[in-house]
């Protein structure tokens, strides 16, 4: 094994070119130095599929502490943003492994493929309700009219939120996204405001579930609080997490996925002819340009990974966007092919921190694409170039995706 601190090349993941088109840089890194160093992230960057899989499965690596970024702020700013920091520390997956398992065990029955399939009629109904008002117009922005409101409505139903409040949920989620980016203080202030607003909104809903239990996630949390499994503070914090994780990830999958189809008209035409290919198309979307480009991990002890030795408390940036295009694993990795089989992508992670909502995101995307292409057989792009947000190497969100029919 080689000491990582003396042998690894440094790369800038934050140049305009790297943010705008990270694939080229990550491909070069995978060839030149499969383990690189990012001075901005203070993290080692893994770009090979095998190394990323090994890191994701390694129990000595845990989810990186999202609150580390607060340390670069002034003391006054840290004090101001302490409520946000304290809430994040209670998020499932951002606590210690035992707490993560505790929440997974509590919630997993809500997120099994069998349970998720019972939600298909609801997802179909919501999708049609979102498309009905835009259908006569002959055009829409997929991001604002479909990709974001669809999962927002689904998560709102799971949390037992009244229908009229769904727009607020979407706005809160957009603000909270700053936590996962290299955000400035103003963005973190908005994230804190939205976090606190959502928590205050949830308090009376939680109080209602204590009087009359329903079948939603809030009721599940309230029952768990009664038997001492979770605290009131953990309920509030993790409802915020469910809002973001279940909303942003699925919205990104739908928007990025449709953009891929529009950019590859042969694949769009094939999917129109063969809607039975929708499940494999969704997997290829996740591989080729999933909503999360990378995840962060931190070592809890000294580890040996990817041919190098790393001390405890080392941060790792696992570039799934690179690993999911590794030619050692995926034939013709730069080819977007919805018929691809044996798709071993890591878009939802692996191991202990595998995404709890993976089955839900897959199902929502599956139903959405089937309905969209069936209702609008002449769907085509109404843009000159894709309008992406370029804020972080952790993910690539579309600001808008205009289409017409």
| SS3 assignment for 146-198 | HHCHHHHHHHHHHHCCCHHHHHHHHHHHHHHHHHHCCCCHHHHHHHHHHHHHH
- Residue 28, classified by CB atoms within 10 Å of its CB into exposed (0-12), middle (13-18) or buried (19+), is middle
CA distance 239 to 145: 24
Per residue of the chain (405 residues), give pLDDT as tens.
666 656 799 999 988 888 878 999 999 999 999 999 999 889 999 999 999 999 999 989 988 666 666 777 889 988 999 998 888 888 876 666 666 777 777 888 778 888 888 999 999 999 999 999 999 999 999 999 999 999 989 988 888 887 777 778 878 888 887 776 666 788 889 989 999 998 999 999 999 999 988 888 888 888 888 888 888 888 888 888 888 777 888 999 999 999 999 999 999 999 999 999 999 999 999 999 998 899 999 999 999 999 999 999 999 999 999 999 999 999 999 999 999 999 999 999 998 888 888 999 999 999 999 999 999 999 999 998 888 776 567 677 898 999 999
Q: How many residues does the chain have?
A: 405
Q: Positive or negative CA dihedral for 234, 66, 354, 281? A: positive
Judge contact between 44 and 317, C-beta under 8 A. Answer: yes
pLDDT of residue 291: 87
Q: Which residues of 378-390 are buried (b: 16+ CB within 10 A; e: fewer)?
A: ebebbeeebebee
| Percent of the chain that is helix, strand, coil (3-state, to 5) | 60, 10, 30
pLDDT of residue 321: 96
Q: How do 308-310 and 139-141 pair as beta strands?
A: unpaired
pTM: 0.91
Alpha-carbon distances of 293 from 22, 52, 232, rounded to whole Å? 9, 12, 33
The tally of CA atoms less than 13 A away on the side-chain side of residue 304 is 4
Instruction: Read off the tokens for 74.
Output: 């002034």
CA distance 172 to 174: 5
Q: How do 35-38 and 61-63 pair as beta strands?
A: unpaired
pLDDT of residue 39: 94
109-142 pLDDT, tens digit per residue, is 778 888 888 999 999 999 999 999 999 999 999 9
Domains, the chain: 2-404 (1.10.630.10)
């Amino acid at each position: 094994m080689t000491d990582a601190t003396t042998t690894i090349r440094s790369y800038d993941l934050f140049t305009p070119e790297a943010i705008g088109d990270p694939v080229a840089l990550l491909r070069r890194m995978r060839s030149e130095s499969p383990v690189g160093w990012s001075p901005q992230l203070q993290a080692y960057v893994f770009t090979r599929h095998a190394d990323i899989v090994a890191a994701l499965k390694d129990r000595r690596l845990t989810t990186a502490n999202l609150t580390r970024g607060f340390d670069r702020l002034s003391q006054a700013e840290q004090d101001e943003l302490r409520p946000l920091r304290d809430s994040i520390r209670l998020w499932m997956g951002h606590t210690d492994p035992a707490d993560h398992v505790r929440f997974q065990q509590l919630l997993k029955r809500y997120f099994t493929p069998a349970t998720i399939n019972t939600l298909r009629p609801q997802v179909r109904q919501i999708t049609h309700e979102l498309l009905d008002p835009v259908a006569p117009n002959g055009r829409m922005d997929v991001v604002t009219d479909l990709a974001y409101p669809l999962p927002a409505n689904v998560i709102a139903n799971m949390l037992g939120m009244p229908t009229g409040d769904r727009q607020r949920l979407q706005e809160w989620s957009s603000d909270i996204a700053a936590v996962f980016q290299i955000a400035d203080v103003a963005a973190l202030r908005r994230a804190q405001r939205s976090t606190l607003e959502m928590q205050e909104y949830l308090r009376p809903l939680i109080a209602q579930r204590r009087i009359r239990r329903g079948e939603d996630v809030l009721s599940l949390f309230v029952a768990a609080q009664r038997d001492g499994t979770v605290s009131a503070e953990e309920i509030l914090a993790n409802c915020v997490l469910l809002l973001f994780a279940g909303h942003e990830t699925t919205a990104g999958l739908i928007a990025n996925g449709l953009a891929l189809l529009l950019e590859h008209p042969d694949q769009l035409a094939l999917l129109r002819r063969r809607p039975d290919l929708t499940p494999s198309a969704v997997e290829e979307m996740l591989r080729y340009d999933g909503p999360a480009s990378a995840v962060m991990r931190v070592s809890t002890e000294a580890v040996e990974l990817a041919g190098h030795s790393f001390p405890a408390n080392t941060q790792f940036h696992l570039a799934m966007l690179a690993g999911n295009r590794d030619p050692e694993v995926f034939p013709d990795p730069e080819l977007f092919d919805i018929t691809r089989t044996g798709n071993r992508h890591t878009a939802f992670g692996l191991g202990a921190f595998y995404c709890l909502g993976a089955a839900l995101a897959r199902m929502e995307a599956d139903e959405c694409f089937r309905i969209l292409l069936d209702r609008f057989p002449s769907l085509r792009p109404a843009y000159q170039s894709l309008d992406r947000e370029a804020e972080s190497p952790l993910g690539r969100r579309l600001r808008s995706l205009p289409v017409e029919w």
